[in-house]
Amino acid sequence: MLIFLPNEIEGDTTGLEKLEKELTYEKFVEWTRPDLMGQTEVEVRLPRFKMEETYDLNKVLIGMGMVDAFSREKSDFSGMSSAIDLFLSKVVHKAFIEVNEEGTEAAAATAAAMSERSLMIPAMFIADHPFLFFIRHNTTMSVLFTHTVVCPQLQQLSEQMILSL
């Protein structure tokens, strides 16, 4: 999961509108280059959130040139089924994500260390104002899911939601 949390807090927009206007595919690729990302211990505080979306893909797929599959006369699914006259009537995509104590515990890594001198305090990342998040398949660099969290409510944050990554 990649989280883009704007530094600027500008009145009602909190910098999110500016980030959304400036974010292009090229900037996303540049900002998330693996060679620019290192591993460091960070204390992450995220609000609990749950999002569910359903998308009708008929128009999108037809717009991309997949016209025949939706046509009773022109569709050909003979390689998939012996039934005749098959065609696509509806294509729906449903996306769901939930971030909570249980979900984040499964993805969290925990480490313990001893030190003779002073204990190093990890950097803090607190998502207490609107942010964008992306879920990316790192091997292919494909973005699988993206969403905006407009009203994060950290008062719901429990101690179990504080992660050390």
Domains parsed from the chain with CATH numbers: 2-48+100-164 (2.30.39.10), 55-94 (no CATH)
3 CB-near residues (< 8 Å, 6+ apart): 46, 125, 127, 131, 132, 133
Q: Which residue has the higher pLDDT, 47 or 113?
A: 47
* Per-residue model confidence (pLDDT) at position 148: 84
Nearest by Cα to 56 from 106, 91, 14 = 91
d(CA 149, CA 115): 38
pTM exceeds 0.85, yes or no: no
Q: Which of 64-78, 86-100, 123-137 has the highest mean pLDDT?
A: 64-78
12 CB-near residues (< 8 Å, 6+ apart): none
